[in-house]
Chain A
Amino acid sequence: MSLPSPQFNQLGTLQHFLTLDGLDKATLTAIMDAAENFTSVGDRMIKNVPLLRGKTVANLFFENSTRTRTAFELAAKRLSADLLNVDLVTSSTNKGESLLDTLRVLESLQCDMFIVRHGESGAADFIARHVKPTINVVNGGDGQASHPTQGMLDMFTIRQHKGDFEKLCVVIIGDIRHSRVARSGIAALNTLGAGEIRVVGPRTLMPTDVESMGVSWYSDLEKALHGADVVMGLRLQTERMSGITIPSSREFFATYGLTKERLALAKPDAIVMHPGPTNRGVEISAEVADGPQSVILDQVTNGVAIRMAVMSIVMGNAEPLREAAANGVLEDTPSNKKTNSTPSEKAGSPHV
């Protein structure tokens, strides 16, 4: 991964939204500020604004998703964009079409933005390097690497309830190793200057580089919860686990499940978050998930506003490039030229 980040275009603005790594505090704050304005749109009788009227957004979901896909879909629609849901789990990619061929087809359909969800880490990055320079790519979650819009909606929810990040103690519980949500969240929390980030779980569910992530690792949940302002649960990603990482989900709940009794160890006004879908009785008790400290449904609502913000920021940044391309004065990027001759990588193996 020594290639420079493709997130920024030749104008130096954010063209794609692939990862929160390398984005500064000002950028993250600007996204949250924009989202704050978009939240009021959802409260109105007419819930859309004309900002992206005439733009076409394609949801490219190579992996199943309901929550993220519908949030992106709703965000695009509230911005008055046209949305194309391409079900790639059961499409011509299964007939052997390469990922790049699929991209060329969608480019020819004059899409302006691709939302990419893929089971392989690095897929969105790969796609961003190979699309035309006028197209925006937004990462809707790639493998275990990154889920930047989820990270941002989590930060936005924390800011809404807690304000200043510097004073906060954030506890993230569970399967950090397989969680792109945790990676994006930790990256953003560090950039925003969170006071303390604790990750809790068995060593088998921690990434090998956990110490270098700017967090402190706890194996004891009760110790970790003391003084917490924000408690974040994560779903056990059994589909990404290979070999034995935990004894059983029942045992996991006994040791690491977030119960009312354990939550009482955190600050009385601590908030409880979970990216969903929640496995009640595995990571979190129903009592806590539905309790007064839970902001899980706020996260869902905020997910739409954050995606409206991200989509309109990157789409706006690419407008000068679209105009230049329309006038025939935009040069193809080197990476784009190169790919035209080697459209051989298969979907599902992005090789970045």
Chain B
Amino acid sequence: MQQQLAPLCEADPGIVMIGIKTGGVLVGAALHEALGLATPLGELNISFYRDDFSTVGLHPVVGPSQLTTPIDGKHIVLVDDVLSTGRTVRAAMNEIFDYGRPSRITLAVLVQRDGHELPIRADVFGESMNLDESAHVQLTANPWFIEIGERA
């Protein structure tokens, strides 16, 4: 992922990386450090933008969004741990557009798995997996570990 993202970051020094809480922030922090980006890593809590409020209510809160860099006209690298349905990324993009109008968004995920429900695909990914529908992919850090288990 670092190799794929490096040319983009070199081409545009104003590039802003944003991780989706909480897994995307872990991946984003590692990439942010490896790429030596000048702008701080943004953190996005998409709880208030989810499309499943009518079924599950307010999601457990994971700390506020922190986007200190103005994003108008900026190239954004949006980072998450796992891309499956695409609904999280849609929510994240809706939230980003409430902060400003970026010139471009590149989606980078550690794991792209099947189960897409929206026309959203990662531009950059670490792994691609085809899994049983009931499988649940979760990331743990320190040490980095991708867990594949049964969905609760």
Contact = CB atoms under 8 A, between A and B. Distances in A.
A33 interface: yes
B61 A33 contact: yes
Interface in A295-322: 312-313, 315-317, 319-320, 322
Contact of B64 (A40, A52, A317, A323): A40
A24 B108 CA distance: 41
A50 B48 contact: yes
A49 B58 contact: no
A36 interface: yes
Contacts of B55: 319-320, 323
Contacts of B58: 34, 51, 312-313, 316
A46 B98 contact: yes
Contacts of A315: 57
A329 interface: no
A44 B99 contact: yes
Given A37-B47, A319-B54, A45 B99 contact: yes
Contacts of A40: 64-66
B48 to A, nearest CB: 4
A164 B65 CA distance: 23
Given A46-B99, A49-B48, A36 B54 contact: no
A312 B45 CA distance: 16
Given A44-B98, A316-B56, A323-B54, A49 B61 contact: no
A323 B98 CA distance: 29
Contacts of A322: 54
A288 interface: no
B47 A313 contact: no
Nearest to A43: B64
A41 interface: yes
Interface string B40-69: 000001011100011111100111111000
B94 interface: yes
B100 interface: yes
Nearest to B66: A40
Contact of B53 (A36, A37, A41, A319): A319
A190 interface: no
Interface residues of B, number: 21
A5 interface: no
Size class of A's contact patch? 20 to 34
A49 B57 CA distance: 15
Contacts of B65: 37, 40
A144 to B, nearest CB: 31
B57 A313 contact: yes
A39 interface: yes
A50 B64 contact: no
Contacts of A41: 48
A48 B100 CA distance: 13
A54 to B, nearest CB: 9
A41 B63 CA distance: 12
Given A37-B64, A39-B64, A51 B48 contact: yes
B51 to A, nearest CB: 9
A37 B61 contact: yes
Interface string A20-57: 00000000000001101111110011101111100000
B134 to A, nearest CB: 23
Given A36-B61, A37-B61, A49 B49 contact: yes
A17 B62 CA distance: 23
Interface string B89-104: 0000011001110000
Contacts of A33: 61
A323 B45 CA distance: 27
Closest 8 CB pairs of A and B: A316-B57, A40-B64, A49-B48, A46-B98, A316-B58, A37-B64, A37-B61, A312-B58
12 contacts: A37-B45, A37-B62, A40-B66, A45-B99, A51-B49, A51-B58, A312-B58, A313-B58, A315-B57, A316-B53, A319-B53, A322-B54
Interface of A: 13, 33-34, 36-41, 44-46, 48-52, 312-313, 315-317, 319-320, 322-323
Given A13-B57, A49-B95, A51-B53, 6 more contacts: A34-B61, A38-B48, A49-B49, A52-B53, A316-B57, A319-B56
